[in-house]
Amino acid sequence: MSDSKSKLRIVCLGDSITYGFPWGPEASWVKMLGQALDAEIINKGINGNTTWDMMNRFDRAVLKYNPTHVIIMGGINDVICGESFDRITYNLRIMVNKALDAGIKVVLGLPTAIDNEYWEKMVHRIRTWMRELAAEKGIPIIDFAAAFFDANGNIKKELLLADGGHPDIEGYQEMFKQIDLSIFQT
């Protein structure tokens, strides 16, 4: 039993961008993380999930596995569906608190860029709030969005599929490069 607690077990909770859409988990940043760490990585990304969906499945998708860490990333589908900022941040805060209460180390993944000016403005607001929550709770973030912006703040459209929201293969690789592996050593 003591061996299971010493080994990293990381649940990655999210939507299609965690899952690895459209290629599947084999192409995801989650798979790359598993290859880089000596850890059990559990991909709990579901295409189309909102933060509400993630919150509702949190016990069976995260707590059930008794992980050492959880990476929580979501919000883009909420924005596309017209969910309010308050509801999105409420859902994220509930998940963070549930994990912390269970003794799980939380990492927040900042949502990636979306090539739609209106939606990107709202996602940017969510990222800002997530940074503030991380600072308040003393938890690390992975700035996945940074992979998709150039030095002038323009979206690198060449890293996105034609839908303007999902990363292409290179986009997933660039997402993985944003992960500071040392955050899992503490």
Q: Give the CATH number for residue 121.
A: 3.40.50.1110
Quick: pLDDT tens for 45-95.
999 999 999 999 999 999 999 999 999 999 999 999 999 999 999 999 999
Per the structure, the count of domains in the chain is 1
Residue 90, classified by CB atoms within 10 Å of its CB into exposed (0-12), middle (13-18) or buried (19+), is: middle
**pTM score:** 0.95
**Structural domain containing residue 71:** 2-184
